[in-house]
């Protein structure tokens, strides 16, 4: 069985993330969506909230499951017998960071490959960070970028601020 890990912060999950997951599920027997804490990004949602927001969407894929990721991604991948890490590339600007990360992961664990997937062109300019910025000002325009449960959670978060 060919297992891949799709790691990320997913703060919040977007339609672009789900598009990458859809593509990965067509390529691998099983895809583990691994939600990382990533304190460096100062997430808006806790890991538990992000897992809850992702859960109904991951369940729609027969060969995907959802877990929390703690520690190094390559260690997690090796422990679970994964052969690949899935990373999304939206634009050339993503490539430099992702390339460096892939090379470090290859150095740390050579048996785990990094596979770059591009989302549908509709989502090339969508990121969790941009979604949060737009939501702070006008959440009425976000339904095309995030699932409904995520939109409601964003509205709730920003109504408290």
Our answer to whether residue 46 is catalytic in this structure is no
Cα 86 to Cα 22, 54, 140, 150, 155, distances in angstroms: 11, 17, 31, 22, 29
Query: Cβ atoms within 10 A of the Cβ of 124, count?
Result: 14
Residue 128 is a catalytic residue: yes
- Catalytic residue, chosen from 90, 106, 139, 157, is 90
Catalytic residue among 2, 26, 41, 65: 41
Q: Could you tell me where the beta strands, DSSP code E, fall in the chain?
A: 3-8, 30-35, 64-68, 84-88, 113-117
Q: For the residues of 17-63, what is the DSSP string, one character each?
A: HHHHHHHHHHHSSEEEEEE---GGG--SS-HHHHHHHHHHHHTTSTT
Per annotation, catalytic residue among 17, 23, 57, 87: 17
Selecting among 23, 50, 57, 128, the annotated active-site residue is 128
Give catalytic residues, as residue numbers: 17, 41, 90, 128
């Amino acid at each position: 069985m060919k297992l891949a890990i799709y790691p990320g912060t997913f703060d919040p999950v977007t339609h672009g993330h789900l598009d990458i997951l859809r593509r990965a599920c067509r390529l691998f027997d099983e895809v583990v969506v691994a939600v990382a804490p990533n304190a460096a990004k100062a997430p808006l949602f806790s890991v538990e909230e992000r897992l809850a927001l992702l859960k109904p969407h991951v369940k729609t894929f027969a060969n995907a499951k959802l877990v929390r990721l703690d520690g190094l991604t390559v260690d997690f991948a090796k422990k679970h017998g994964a052969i690949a890490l899935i990373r999304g590339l939206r634009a050339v600007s993503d490539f430099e960071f992702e390339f460096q990360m892939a090379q470090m992961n290859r150095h740390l664990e050579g048996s785990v490959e990094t596979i770059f997937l591009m989302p549908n062109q509709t989502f090339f300019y969508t990121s969790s960070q941009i979604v949060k910025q737009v939501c702070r000002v006008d959440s009425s325009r976000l339904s095309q970028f995030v699932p409904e449960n995520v939109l409601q959670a964003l509205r709730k978060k920003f109504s408290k601020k």
